[in-house]
Structure 1
Amino acid sequence: MATIDQLDLSPEHEPTAHGIEAFEKVEQEIKQAILASRRDWDKHEPKMWSLARDTSDQDLVAFTTKDDLVVIRSAVTSYGPIILGKIRIRAIQLDSAGNLAPGHSVEKDTHGKIKVATKHGKIDDDLYGFIFVRIHDPPGEGVENIKFHSIFTDEGKDAKGELNGLYRAIQPNSKPLEFFNE
């Protein structure tokens, strides 16, 4: 298993065609893992998914890789590349402090797809929450053998490694996409 000290992660960048194809391959697994994580954490630490407390399961996973994978990073390991992705959750709007935006309600278009807020014709990602995902791209087979690895859940720790009470599965756009090994 790779550690941050062993990796040369690329800088954050827009998804490549291969990155989009790789995440599309495991999109349904990612959605299932989000819902399973939410149910599991709600049993023993509801703060983890508290930003989604008023969001239905359906709306929480209403993203598509093509439209909502906004940033990726990758690194080569001895067992093949890993790819980290930042996926926009359209149903979660945040304020500038990374808290739920007051009075936010999910707006849907005529096809039932959640609308996004735009600024000057471009989606304003600073208004949304994100899920960070890690996948593995084993050698050979193109994207046919892509493996979903994990979702980042931030169990905040202070400089001494002690829990500081911060639990967060949904990240603000301002949080950098860093290596995680969960």
Structure 2
Amino acid sequence: MATPEQLTISPPHPPTERAIAAFEQVEAQIKHEITKSRHDWDKHEPKMWSHASQTSDHNLVNFTIKDDLVTIRSAETSYGPMLFGKIRIRAIKLDSAGELVAGEPQVDSHGHITVETKHGKIDDDQYGFIFVRIHDPPGEGTENVKFHSLFTDEGKDEEGHNNGFYRAIQTNSKPLEFFNE
């Protein structure tokens, strides 16, 4: 398993067509793992997914890679590229104090979740995000892409003990960094 010290991770950038195709290959599994993680954490530490406490599973995973994968980073390993992605969760927004809040998303007349825009562009600073790590083994296509993990932030104090901070949904300002979870 590669460590961040062994890798050169690309700077954050918008997803390429290849990255979109890779993440789309495992989109159903990403959605499954989000709801599984939420239910598992709710059993022993509900703070982890507390920002989604008023949001249904359906709305929590009501995203598409094509529209909601907003940032990626990648690193080459001897066993193929490792990709990190930041996926917009339209059902989780920031309130006026800049805190993530749970709720149900606004839906248009066709049942599609709407997004807030600023000057005609989606205002990502208004939404929550989930960070995902996948692996794209060597080869031509994306059919071998493997889901690896979701980032769940368990705050640690200086001695490495949990400090009571838990967060699975991040703000856009949280940097997309290497993670192994």
Question: Which residue of structure 2 aligns with residue 173 of structure 1?
Answer: 172
Q: In 1, Cα distance between the equivalents of 2:99 and 2:104?
A: 14
CA distance in 2, matches of 1:180, 1:98: 25
Partner of 2:152: 153
Tell me if the contact between 1:158 and 1:164 (Cα under 8 Å) persists in the aligned partners. yes
Q: Which residue of 1 aligns with 2:27?
A: 27
Distance in 1, matches of 2:96 and 2:161, equals: 27
Corresponding residue SS for 1:34: helix
The residue that corresponds to 2:46 in the other structure is 46
Q: Residues 15, 160 of structure 1: CA spacing in aligned structure 2 closer, same or farther, 3 A cutoff?
A: same
Offset of residue 138 of structure 1: 0.5
1:111 is matched with: 110
Kept in 2, the 8 Å contact 1:62–1:89? The answer is yes
AA aligned opposite 1:144? E
CA distance in 1, matches of 2:41, 2:115: 28
Q: Secondary structure at the match of 1:66?
A: helix
Letter in 1 for 2:33: A
Superposed CA RMSD = 1.4
Deviations 1:115-164 (A, max 9, x none): 10111111110110000000000111410100000000001112321211
Q: Which amino acid aligns with 2:178?
A: F
Structure 2: gaps spanning 5 or more residues: none
Structure 2 partner of 1:59: 59
Measured in 2, the distance between the counterparts of 1:98 and 1:157 equals 23
Q: Within the alignment, does 1:4 sit opposite 2:4 as a pair?
A: yes
Q: Is the 8 A contact 1:154 1:169 kept in 2?
A: yes
- CA distance, structure 2, for counterparts of residue 8 and residue 124 of structure 1: 30
- Show the counterpart of 1:121: 120
State how far apart, in whole Å, the 2-side matches of 1:134 and 1:96 are.
30
Alignment partners' CA distance in 1, 2:150 and 2:160 = 21
Residue by residue, what CA displacement relative to the aligned partner does 1:83-119 show, whole Å, maximum 9, x if unpaired?
00000000000137652349x6521012211110111
Gapped regions of structure 1 (runs ≥ 5): none
% identical equivalent positions: 71
Deviation at 1:40, TM superposition (A): 0.1
1:72 corresponds to which residue? 72
Q: Which amino acid aligns with 1:167?
A: Y
TM-score, normalised on structure 1? 0.95
Corresponding residue SS for 1:46: coil
